[in-house]
Structure formats: C-alpha cells, structure tokens
C-alpha cells in the first residue's frame, strides 16, 4: 500500500493507494474516525451495482446508511445537494456524521460539496471508483456543482479526512471511461514526470488492458503528483494551473459540443495534441518532444470527431480560466515541464485548430510536418 500525505489548509490527510484495500472485510470501517456518530455512504445506483457488495463488506462493522443519487453530469446540480442534505436529516445525521463518498468525480464533487455544507461541515472520506477520481478529483479538496450558466460554478474547497484509492474498483469501469482517464495520466507525465512518461511509452498497451503491475504503480504515481502540486498551491494561484495542461482547448471542445458525445479526458487528449503543436510552433518545445506527446496520445486510441474549428475557437474565451478577457495557456517546455500563464497569438490558435482534426492521422503515419526550431 502507498500512503501519500497531502497538505491542505485544513491540515494533512492521507491518500491510501493499494489493490484490494476496499476488498478486505471491515477494513474501511476501521479507517473511519472513532468518535463518529454515524456513517453515511453516498454513492450512485450505477456505482452501487458495480461496487456495492465490496463497499458494504468493507464498511459492514460500521452500521452504515446508504444514500443513492444520480451521478450523471446533468444531475450535478444544487437540487441534488439539497436532496442529499434532506436525506441526511431524515436519517438522523448530526455534526459527528462521516460521509463516505464512493464513486467517480461527479459523486465526489456533489457528495463533497454536500459534506462541506451540511451542518456547516461534516467529515468526509473519498473512495474514488473511476480512474479520473483516483488520480485527480478525489485529491485537492475541490468540490462543487454546475449551474446552467457553466460547470463547477458553485462549490467549496473542502479537503477530505481520507482518500482510499483501490485500483480493483476500476475493473468494472466501462472501457471508454477508463481510457478517458488515461489522458489525464498522460497530462501528469507531461507537466511533472519524465519518468512516468517513459514508463507510459513502454507500457501504454498494458495500461489500456488494466494490467495490475502497471496500473497500480501509475495510480499511486499520479496521486502523488497531484498531491504535491495541490499541497504547494491549494487555491490555484500559481502552480496548480499546470493541471490545466490540455484543458484550455479541451474545455472549449466540451462546451462546443454541449458536453455530449466527447468525454472530458478525450477532449483533453485533443487539447494536448493542440497545445503541443502550439508550444512547438512558438519555439517552446522541441519537435521531438511534440512528436512524443502526440504519438502517446494517439496510441490511446481513436478520439471522437471534433466540432468545427470555429465553434471551438468561439468557446476559448469563455473558459473559466480566462481572466480579464485573456486566455491563460499552459504550454509544454519539454516532457515533464510546462509554462503557465502564457499568451498565444489568436492567429496561431486559429491555424492550429484548423489542423487539429488531421493531427492523429499525420502522427500515426509518422509524417514529419514541421521543420525543427531552435529552443529559446
């Protein structure tokens, strides 16, 4: 088992990564604070079908009440938080309650926000059950819901007391959902970890097959990277922005398709292809490194069709990360290092978006399209 300690404004909390942790009868119950007055498992019907037996055995000695809620992105809204809070009241939850949020990022964000607000805050444990949740959303304390006007616009920083990431729980995940999480894994390698990038290049096919030998190591490695970054910059005033690598274009793609048909990770996959090309064109990234990023993204499989370049461009300025009308780019400098807060000429953005849809084919064909440039 890997024990990763995360620093936060509310104190430290551990992320425990290990295969089979949640499978051990009673194990999860024994990790919960002893002075609790009740345990409330918050999860979705789908996660309950996939992982319910494991979760209830793991929590069995703790007399747990279960509250199920819809974890579709469309249900990630204030109304769901109100429903959860009312269920908590009806089930007798008081200030000593512990909420165990078991699910993907939607469950974690909604249940986490409910935990932050219920009686002005009750204790929270995350049991992430998707790859995205294990390597990303359960770590760093961001919780929240969407408004009609945009994603994640209402929320709170609310660090959990404990995160338990058990890769065994990922075995029931839909292949496309799983693969979508792998784009975020590539992102971590790109922003912070050349060794992880090398490992991915050598083992990506095994990782796609969910080979335990690789997957368990990768989950812990990414959780550690996320933990280190949010530990240094919880509120995203600087370094945490690096986590948005590939997300500037990615978010614009998601918005352009109305969050339908392209999964978040897939949009980030497109976004990383685009921004690697922009970084290369701007002389920040060597052609060789841009090629490595591109080929790794392409090896993860076919990406869904892109919306029209103009539709993506139109959404770029409305990204939450665009402050004072300026889009803040995260550019690649080399594998394992990025530059935050960069400006990119509009012309280059437009030109890159125009070519983006063809890039996977060109990369797969190994076409050398661009002359080498000197790095400043």
Ligand X SMILES: NC(=O)c1ccc[n+]([C@@H]2O[C@H](COP(=O)([O-])OP(=O)(O)OC[C@H]3O[C@@H](n4cnc5c(N)ncnc54)[C@H](O)[C@@H]3O)[C@@H](O)[C@H]2O)c1
Cα separation, 172 vs 46, in Å, equals: 10
Please give the residue whose beta carbon sits closest to ligand X in the complex: 105
Token pair belonging to 28: 């999860």
Query: Choosing from 76, 126, 240, 280, which is the catalytic residue?
Result: 240
Whether 314 is catalytic: no
Nearest distance, CB of residue 128 and ligand X, angstroms: 7
Q: Which residues bind ligand X (CB under 6 A)?
A: 44, 46-47, 50-51, 71, 73, 76, 103-107, 109, 129-130, 132-133, 136-137, 140, 142, 152, 169, 172-173, 177, 264
Query: Choosing from 66, 221, 264, 280, which is the catalytic residue?
Result: 264
Nearest distance, CB of residue 143 and ligand X, angstroms: 6
Q: Which is nearer to ligand X, 133 or 342 (CB)?
A: 133
Query: Choosing from 87, 161, 184, 254, which is the catalytic residue?
Result: 184
Tokens 């049991």 belong to: 127
Whether 82 is catalytic: no
Q: Which is nearer to ligand X, 44 or 352 (CB)?
A: 44
What distances in angstroms separate CA 232 from CA 124, 229, 238, 240, one per listed residue?
A: 22, 5, 9, 8
Nearest distance, CB of residue 140 and ligand X, angstroms: 5
What's phi and psi for 336, nearest 5 deg?
Answer: 100, 5
E strands of 141-263, at which residues?
142-147, 150-157, 162-165
> What is the CB-side half-sphere exposure of residue 104 using CA atoms within 13 A?
23
Nearest distance, CB of residue 9 and ligand X, angstroms: 15
Whether 184 is catalytic: yes
- Residues 6 or more apart whose CB falls under 8 angstroms from that of 308 comprise 256
Q: Which is nearer to ligand X, 48 or 295 (CB)?
A: 48
Q: Find out whether 119 and 38 touch, Cβ atoms under 8 Å.
A: no
Q: Which is nearer to ligand X, 18 or 140 (CB)?
A: 140
End-to-end CA, the chain = 43
Q: Which is nearer to ligand X, 26 or 175 (CB)?
A: 175
Whether 251 is catalytic: yes
Query: Choosing from 66, 123, 126, 247, which is the catalytic residue?
Result: 247
What distances in angstroms separate CA 253 from CA 76, 136, 262, 309, 349, one per listed residue?
A: 20, 20, 8, 9, 13
- Residues 6 or more apart whose CB falls under 8 angstroms from that of 372 comprise 286, 287
Nearest distance, CB of residue 227 and ligand X, angstroms: 12
Active-site annotation, residues: 120, 142, 184, 226, 236, 240, 244, 247, 251, 264
């Amino acid at each position: 088992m890997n024990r990763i300690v995360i620093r936060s404004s509310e104190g430290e909390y551990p992320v425990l990564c290990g295969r089979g942790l949640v499978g051990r009868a009673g194990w999860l119950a024994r990790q919960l604070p002893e002075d609790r007055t009740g345990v409330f498992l918050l999860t979705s019907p789908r996660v309950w079908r996939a992982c319910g037996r494991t979760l209830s055995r793991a929590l069995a000695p703790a007399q747990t009440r279960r509250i199920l809620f819809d974890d579709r992105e469309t249900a990630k809204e204030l109304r769901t938080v109100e429903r959860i809070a009312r269920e908590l009241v009806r089930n007798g939850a008081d200030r000593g309650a512990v909420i165990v949020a078991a699910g993907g990022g939607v469950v974690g964000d909604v249940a986490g926000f409910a935990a932050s607000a219920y009686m002005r805050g009750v204790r929270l444990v995350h049991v992430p059950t998707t790859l995205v949740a294990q390597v990303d959303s359960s770590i760093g304390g961001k919780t929240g819901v969407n408004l009609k006007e945009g994603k994640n616009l209402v929320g709170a920083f609310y660090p959990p007391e404990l995160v338990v990431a058990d890769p065994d729980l990922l075995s029931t995940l839909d292949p496309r959902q799983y693969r979508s999480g792998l784009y975020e894994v590539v992102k971590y390698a790109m922003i912070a970890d050349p060794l992880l990038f090398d490992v991915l290049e050598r083992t990506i096919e095994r990782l796609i097959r969910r080979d335990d030998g690789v997957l368990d190591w990768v989950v812990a490695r990414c959780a550690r990277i996320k933990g280190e970054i949010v530990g240094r910059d919880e509120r995203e005033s600087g370094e945490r922005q690096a986590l948005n690598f590939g997300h500037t274009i990615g978010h614009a793609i998601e918005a352009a398709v109305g969050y339908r048909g392209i999964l978040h990770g897939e949009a980030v996959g497109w976004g990383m292809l685009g921004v690697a090309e922009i970084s290369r064109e701007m002389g920040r990234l060597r052609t060789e490194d841009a090629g490595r990023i591109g080929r790794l993204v392409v090896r993860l499989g076919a990406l869904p069709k892109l919306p029209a370049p103009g539709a993506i461009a139109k959404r770029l300025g409305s990204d939450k990360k665009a402050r004072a009308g300026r889009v803040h780019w995260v550019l690649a400098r080399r594998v394992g290092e990025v530059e935050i807060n960069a400006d990119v000429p509009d012309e280059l953005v437009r030109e890159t978006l125009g070519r983006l849809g063809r890039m996977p084919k060109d990369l797969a064909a190994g076409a050398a399209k661009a002359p080498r440039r000197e790095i400043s």
